[in-house]
Structure 1
Amino acid sequence: MSDETESPTYVDEGKEFTRDTNYIPDRITRDSEEWPVEPGRYRLIAAPACPWANRALIVHRLLGLEDVISVGRPGPTHDARSWTFDRDPGGVDPVLGIERLQEAYFARFPGYERGITVPAIVEVATGKVVTNDFPWITHDLATEWTEHHRPGAPDLWPADLREEMDEVMQRVFTEVNNGVYRCGFAGSQEAYEAAYDRLWTALDWLEERLTDRRFLMGDRITEADVRLFTTLARFDAVYHGHFKCNRQKLTELPALWGYARDLFQTPGFGETIDFEQIKAHYYVVHTDINPTGIVPVGPDPAVWEKPHGREALGGETIAPW
């Protein structure tokens, strides 16, 4: 393992960026003998700075699982070893009693050699990581923990939309969620330009799709919206400049910008966004892209509170609870 001061490296010179998608495949389900649904047994570790973890924070909040699964929030910066709990008193997670998320991974898999990623779910009693498979984490929170959802919680995986949702979410993941990283971590001009073209082809498709429908799947919020939102929330603050995704700003795309503000102003979404932590994560951790470590001051987050006008499209939004 690297020492405590070493920075992680993301750009592989001369190559295109390829995401490692091999995660701990375990799931928490109603009928699992090893990892059953059980209130109080697990802790969700999700750094607000990370878009993949941000998904879990939104879903956890929308479903009202605060008293069922506790949440630990690592700080926005980390080295090659692990995310740390540097914003908690004494730099220690108050429930798990650890300084680094790495400790939970090692408790179950000594010398774990893959990435120490968030979100992760940890069993509180043993301090062992259960899973870091982020697509399944949010899926299972929505479908396996239904007995513990708050009254009026949204159905984020409606049965009548699942087939189309799978297609939409797959394109959003490969071309947008991961597409911005493919631009930012490209190791050659050729790889960058190919990634840039793919990203903007997908964003143009989304702009058109959202022109006459309020949400990605029509008139109600689903997990597809959660997955797209976390990338849009970071677009102007990080991806436009830091990752060179700079054909246009989000604020220059009428449908996507209105849609993003609509979600931001919906309970459960904007309250999970911390622009200060988001910028600190990308601009400080990615030293191979931003070696000075200087964090930009803007953009002004107040623009997210401006009227979006999407009510004219109808649809069902989520009321405060």
Structure 2
Amino acid sequence: MITRLLRRLHRDRRRIAVTFTFMFLAGVVEMWGKSDLLPPFVLEIIAGGFLVAFLGTMLIGFGLAWPSFRHAYAPIGLTLFAAAVLGRLLPGSAFSLLTVTEGGGRSLAGLITTGLFVHFFFYGRWSDRLLKARRSRTTTRVVTRLEADTVWHGLVPTPGRREALHDPDVVSVDWLDRDHKRVRIIRWAPPEPKVEEHYLIEDMLPGAYVIYRYVRAGAKPETLIKGLRAVKLIDLVDRRVVYVTEFRQDQSLRRVLFDWLDDKLGRIEDERMQQLEHAVSASKSRHGKRESNVIGGVLRPRGRGLPSVTSAAPISLAAHRRAERAKSSLYAARDLLAAGE
């Protein structure tokens, strides 16, 4: 639980940094030059720090309780900063932050209007066709204490090692050529249709790194997602560190910016690593339970008085001779009975 929360906070680090920056600037702009008693910048810094400490902490608490709330961090910070700037440009208007508690519905309507404008400007899809990123690069880092072989085959699909992925949606991993350069992965999560992914391995050192190009179906049947991915595994003494780098082409600048802000690749790899750790832990637990049942319930005798092979005393020579004589007497008695009949 603690590890999961720390990973979420780590992936929110960019959102938190951007949000806190705009909150601090909003306090500075709002209180700029409004105090004649304190030295310059003192009141401004206090106001910005108050917004960060009070409102920022409250936002992080909500984000930990409701993970999807993290998408509201940056819009709230941008809205406060924009309202502070409009309040300075339009004195006496409803956009000032200081008049929110005093202006009532009018100030609240001004703040909501600012928020809607910020949302449309930064989150609207109007810029997707105008602003394109020819090539984008994203890198993330994941740390785990699993064994290196488990991590490698759990993150890198390998033909013949499908079970090591611990992904129930993967139904097959096959080579497509004799040179072992092309791999096909088929995913199926009923009732959804099957989805194929194709990998072209550019370079690979098993257990250390792999570089491959991938093609898979997008959200729409007619769209394809293409890219280049590099996975590097570093085996340290007490932990394993995985670096994943992706190169994508022809993405909208808005999508690239928001994926970077949300650390989307890092969240995907965290989820995969968490799923792998849970599956490995469950597998070890089941394996240990089977071993304890076999040792304690089948092979180990429970009845009292049953002799143990390891605790049996050595048979003496005299006892052996007595047993042989008793056996001879038994055979002689049997022969006499047979002759009398």
* Greater share of residues in strand: 2
Q: TM-score, normalised by structure 1?
A: 0.20
Q: TM-score, normalised by structure 2?
A: 0.19
Q: Which has the higher contact order (CA 8 A, sep 6+)?
A: 1
